[in-house]
Amino acid sequence: MSIVVTFAGRTPLPTAGSWYQIWSYRVQPSGPADLRPGQRIALALPSDVDLRDPALFPGVPALDGAFIEADPGSGRQYAGRTVTSTGPLVLSFVAPPTESDRDLLLVTRTPGQPWTVTPFATTAGGPTGPVRVLTAPVPGPVRTGRPVGEFAGTLPYASELFGVYQPLPGWLGYSGAGRLAALHGPRPGPAAFAGPAARSLESPELAALARFAGQDPPTEGILSPVGLVNLFRQYFFEFDTFLGAPAGHLWLSPGGMVELVETTTRRTLVERTASQSEETTRRSEETLTDQSDVADAVKESNANDTSLGATVSAGGSFAGVYHADASASFATKSTTGKSSELTHKHTRTQSSKVSSEIRRNFTTTFKTVTETTDTSSRRYVVQNTTDRLANYELRRKMRKVGVQVQHIGTRMSWQVFVNAPGRVLGLGEFVDVVPAPDLTSLRKPEPPEPLTPILTTFTGTFPIQEHPDSTNAPHNDADWRRQDGFDRMWRGEEDEYIVADFDYGAIPPAPGFTLSTNPDFVQFVSAKNGHGTDAKFLVRYVIQRPDTGRFQVRADNVHFGGTATITFTLQLRWEPPAVDPAQVAYEAALRQYEKDVAALQRKAYAAAVRDRTTLLSKVRPRPAEELRKEERHSVFAHLLEQLRLFDPRDAHLEAELIRQIFDVDEMLYFVSPEFWRPGDVSGPAGPDSLGRYPVPPARWEGSDGDPLAGETVPTAYSRTSSHNGPDAKGPDPAKEWRVDYLITADSQPAPMGSSLGWLVQTDGDERRNEFLNSAWVKAVLPIRPGHEREALGWLTKAGVEGEAALGRPYTWQEGDPDTYRGKSIGEVLELLAAELAASNTSVPRTLAGEQVFETGFDPLAGGFRPAEPYQVFDQWVEVLPTDQVVAVEVAYDPKTGQQL
């Protein structure tokens, strides 16, 4: 007789959401000697089997006393327990549910002895041997959490709508085809697009369009006024969690304890490393998102993707509509299938990208501290209470999020091009008051007083002096008169004369002053004889040297009063110099002062421009929803202006008519680089080029007309600069001119379009800037459900899109309904409109689009299938990090260094 070991079965772990199961084997001894209390007994399984430590599942009775022991030398691991009685016992362990028949060994071990292989049988009375075949776990696929199928019925925690727009070629609408015809002659009027001749393109006015009939669908799709929007919804399901790669490592000596402070941060800046290839390929993705959930990140990505159609529907029905190629087939099944393939590629790429970004978003830093100073941090205390060295891996907790995509409907839409809708939108002007520079360090020179004539007094003596012609000494008590025709005076005697003219010199009152040349400005003040009494003194004055103050006194009648001299006093007028030296010095000092002021102002204004450039780049953009609403209003207003079906005073009637048929609130408009064409760029820039907003001159003084003149900035500055051409030679090389944009060391990266000379809205986003600079946008107005045939009838009117080419035969495509055979384009559109009207107003179809919210997750075999209408057609799983880290005890082989 021998020990009999039988497989008792597998049971699920009581832990909710676990993929592993409890494996049980019954051990029946043949007698009391086979099993002894204190002895250890175990099944030896290959080391490639994923056995879990029973200590990880406390509270499970079947695992009480169970152990797992690895034997790296033999390539086996032992799953067993310690014998407590001589009777039967059950060996239990935790392993994956995959099973197969495998060779197993039964081993026993007495304390202090090595493991010993014990022969056993698998049936009572059966053959005995050291190795027997039993049902046992086998290595299964590597799983991070439970299989997807186990989450059937899980309700989505978030959803996101997505769409694909496809033009339907064939119909040549007036709004698009009329412009094309105008390139080859006069633009046909609306009446030319109506009637039988227009339906067959036999009208002479549409001869230019007939050449495009039958060309590739993408060419005709540009001119077609109708298309289909296939709507899809992404669902996000919360699956289980698991532990990811280690984020850190700890080791503790016996009895040791360590306190950890976990600091979780979110990356918002790009880390530049030495790996140029990694930096180049990841740089555009690093700034994609700051979200921690894939659903939120997908919403943010759709809002930022400028290749998607923009809308502002409150329900988000058309948030993120991708523009696909024109569909040659009008069948809803064919267009849905093609749209599903494009949606599959876009959504899988998008969710992988944002999930990768979220994974790079989380960074956890651990530090060992002796005292806690940050009370807001998470604190962990890890203690080793064993008698051996303990190792712990710090592993991040990861989330599994399931994603499914479902087709939820098809809408027929009207597409029309609208010219320059951004011209009517105002810009936000950034207000930044630049203070005048501080000029206190400069001293402004004081202007000198203006030079004026100076009056001075001059005192001189007029002596009685014998003239050379006299023969007798003169009498000093006589009345002397000038003798006509002579320079002498006499008193009537022929032999007695005195000198009549004397020269005098006055000292100028200041340098540069000259004596007035007008003798009338010499004023007589007084004349006294030697006794101090008034004397007769009738004289005239002749200015001889104004610059030196020399003048001559010519006496006509004098009386000395018995004295030898007459003392006279005069008032002289001195004229200021023509050039004032003080004024010259002042003007020189003023010029230097103004030069210094200009230098300070230039530096101050340059600093102001630098600060403004930095501040402008950091202005927060307005909410995208508000910007899209404004753009939609502009597009709709321009659309009404283009149609002009009513008198301009009755434009509200036109707007109401359109709203009755089309869902204007869900209107899309595509504004992306392929729709942008510069309308006013005639060639390369030159020295006279200015750009959208050149740096204006500084204005340190206010303006009476505009109180904010010089204090606002409507858009980013531009500046025209030049550099040498690639083949520059000689002292005067050829120059290349460019209109540049300004950046600073602290400014944010310039927005899209800066190098293209775009007008940039300071508080706008990339979509708004493209909208402002677009020569046109393509507006897509979904038709209200149930109004498809009514809308087609309205669009075919002469004043709207007309009927051009609707009478041409429809080219039947593989997969189209047989009812499309032999029909014209207009007839097929009528059939399609009737089909969509019935489908979009069907209650069962509406409920099918909402079924996931009721029944939850339904696993999709294979992960993808071309979509049928209203079916789930795509499925995948994303792995996301959390901000939680778990300490897991691990052991390592001291010889190989491998983890046990």
For residue 2, the number of C-alpha atoms closer than 13 Å in the C-beta half-sphere is 17
Is the Cβ–Cβ distance between 93 and 23 less than 8 Å? yes
377/277: higher pLDDT: 377
Rounded CA separation 763/675 (Å): 23
Dihedral over Cα of 197, 202, 208, 209: its sign: positive
Rounded CA separation 753/751 (Å): 6
pLDDT at 314: 31
Question: For residue 651, what are the contacts with CB-CB under 8 A and spacing of at least 6?
Answer: 640
Mean pLDDT, residues 187-198 taken together: 84
Distances (CA, A) of 695 to 27, 346, 398, 531, 603: 91, 42, 52, 85, 14
User: Considering the chain, what is the average pLDDT of its residues?
Assistant: 81
3-state secondary structure of 581: helix
Residue 863 has pLDDT above 70, yes or no: yes
Residue 836 has pLDDT above 70, yes or no: yes
Closest CA to 457 of 416, 504, 393: 504
Label residue 160 by pLDDT band (50, 70, 90): confident
3-state secondary structure of 838: helix
Residue 315 has pLDDT above 80, yes or no: no
Asked whether residue 31 is assigned to any structural domain, the reply reads yes
Residue 279 has pLDDT above 60, yes or no: no
Which of 579, 604, 619 terminates a domain? The answer is 579
Question: pLDDT for 777-802, tens place per residue?
Answer: 888 889 998 889 998 988 888 678 88
β-pair type (454-463, 488-490):
unpaired
Mean pLDDT, residues 71-84 taken together: 89
pLDDT at 364: 40
pLDDT at 586: 94
Asked whether residue 225 is assigned to any structural domain, the reply reads no
pLDDT at 493: 84
Q: What's the domain count of the chain?
A: 2
pLDDT at 97: 87
Mean pLDDT, residues 712-719 taken together: 87
Question: pLDDT for 205-250, tens place per residue?
Answer: 777 676 665 554 445 667 788 989 888 888 999 988 888 888 888 8
3-state secondary structure of 353: helix
Question: Would you tell me how many other CB atoms lie within 10 Å of the CB of residue 494?
Answer: 10
Residues spanned by the domain of 536: 454-579
Question: Would you tell me how many other CB atoms lie within 10 Å of the CB of residue 39?
Answer: 16
Angle between helices 825-840 and 332-361 (to 10 degrees): 60
DSSP assignments along 18-73, one per residue = ---EEEEEEEE-SSTTT--TT-EEEEEEETTS-PBPGGGSTT-GGGTTEEEEEETT
In three-state form (DSSP H/G/I as H, E/B as E, the rest C), the secondary structure along 716-780 is CCEEEEEEECCCCCCCCCCEEEEEEECCCCCCCCCCCCCCCCCCCCCCCCHHHHHHHHCCEEEEE
DSSP assignments along 462-494, one per residue = EE--B-TT-SSPPPTTSEEEEPTTSSEEESS-T
Residue 433 has pLDDT above 90, yes or no: no
pLDDT at 745: 92
From the DSSP assignment, how many helices (H) and strands (E) are in the chain? 15, 35
Residue 811 backbone class (left: φ over 0; alpha: ψ -120 to 50; beta: rest):
beta
Rounded CA separation 425/631 (Å): 8
**pLDDT above 90 as % of the chain:** 30
pLDDT at 368: 38
Asked whether residue 376 is assigned to any structural domain, the reply reads no
Asked whether residue 18 is assigned to any structural domain, the reply reads yes
Residue with tokens 């030495």, as numbered in its chain: 274
**pLDDT above 70 as % of the chain:** 81
pLDDT at 466: 92
Which of 113, 140, 167 terminates a domain? The answer is 140
Mean pLDDT, residues 146-163 taken together: 84
Task: Give per-residue burial for 453-473: e unless 16+ CB within 10 Å, then b.
Answer: eeebebebebebeebeebeee
In three-state form (DSSP H/G/I as H, E/B as E, the rest C), the secondary structure along 122-173 is CCCCCCCECEEEEEEECCCCCCCCCCHHHHCCCCCCEEEEEEEEEECCCCCC
Is the Cβ–Cβ distance between 49 and 91 less than 8 Å? no
DSSP assignments along 617-674, one per residue = HTPPPPPHHHHHHHHHHHHHHHHHHHH--S-GGGHHHHHHHHHHHB-GGG-EEE--GG
Question: pLDDT for 612-638, tens place per residue?
Answer: 999 999 999 999 889 988 988 888 888
Closest CA to 287 of 275, 300, 299, 274: 300
Is the Cβ–Cβ distance between 580 and 559 less than 8 Å? no
Asked whether residue 558 is assigned to any structural domain, the reply reads yes
Label residue 866 by pLDDT band (50, 70, 90): confident
Residue 120, phi then psi, degrees to nearest 5: -155, 165
Rounded CA separation 27/38 (Å): 16
Asked whether residue 172 is assigned to any structural domain, the reply reads no
Label residue 683 by pLDDT band (50, 70, 90): low
Q: Among 244-253, 502-511, 520-529, whose mean pLDDT is lowest?
A: 244-253
Closest CA to 231 of 526, 596, 668: 668
Mean pLDDT, residues 279-286 taken together: 31
Residue 77 has pLDDT above 60, yes or no: yes
Which of 579, 599, 621 terminates a domain? The answer is 579
Mean pLDDT, residues 265-271 taken together: 45
Label residue 329 by pLDDT band (50, 70, 90): low
Label residue 267 by pLDDT band (50, 70, 90): very low
Distances (CA, A) of 264 to 357, 365, 382: 16, 7, 19
365/556: higher pLDDT: 556
Mean pLDDT, residues 557-578 taken together: 94
Rounded CA separation 803/830 (Å): 13
Q: Among 195-204, 293-302, 519-528, 804-813, whose mean pLDDT is lowest?
A: 293-302
pLDDT at 679: 47
Q: Beta partners for 101?
A: 135
Label residue 141 by pLDDT band (50, 70, 90): low
Rounded CA separation 316/624 (Å): 13
Is the Cβ–Cβ distance between 422 and 627 less than 8 Å? no
Q: What is the CATH number of the domain that holds 111?
A: 2.60.40
Residue 310 has pLDDT above 80, yes or no: no
496/73: higher pLDDT: 496
3-state secondary structure of 611: helix
Residue with tokens 């030896």, as numbered in its chain: 44
Asked whether residue 396 is assigned to any structural domain, the reply reads no
pLDDT at 288: 38
Neighbour-count burial of 517, counting CB atoms closer than 10 A to its CB (0-12 exposed, 13-18 middle, 19+ buried): exposed
Question: For residue 836, what are the contacts with CB-CB under 8 A and spacing of at least 6?
Answer: 332, 410, 411, 412, 785, 788
Rounded CA separation 575/893 (Å): 114
Rounded CA separation 878/356 (Å): 9
Asked whether residue 722 is assigned to any structural domain, the reply reads no
Residue with tokens 């309308």, as numbered in its chain: 679
pLDDT at 672: 58
pLDDT at 656: 84
158/651: higher pLDDT: 158
Residue 525 has pLDDT above 80, yes or no: yes
Run of H or E including 585: helix 581-617
Rounded CA separation 587/116 (Å): 114
DSSP assignments along 264-323, one per residue = EEE--SPPP-S-HHHHHHHHHHHTS---SSHHHHHHHHHHH-TTEEB---TT-TTSSEEE
Q: Among 116-130, 209-223, 307-321, 477-491, whose mean pLDDT is lowest?
A: 307-321
Is the Cβ–Cβ distance between 686 and 587 less than 8 Å? no
453/773: higher pLDDT: 453
3-state secondary structure of 561: coil
Label residue 422 by pLDDT band (50, 70, 90): confident
Rounded CA separation 822/816 (Å): 12
Rounded CA separation 148/720 (Å): 60
Residue 833 backbone class (left: φ over 0; alpha: ψ -120 to 50; beta: rest):
alpha
Dihedral over Cα of 464, 469, 473, 478: its sign: negative
pTM beyond 0.75, yes or no: no
pLDDT at 307: 42
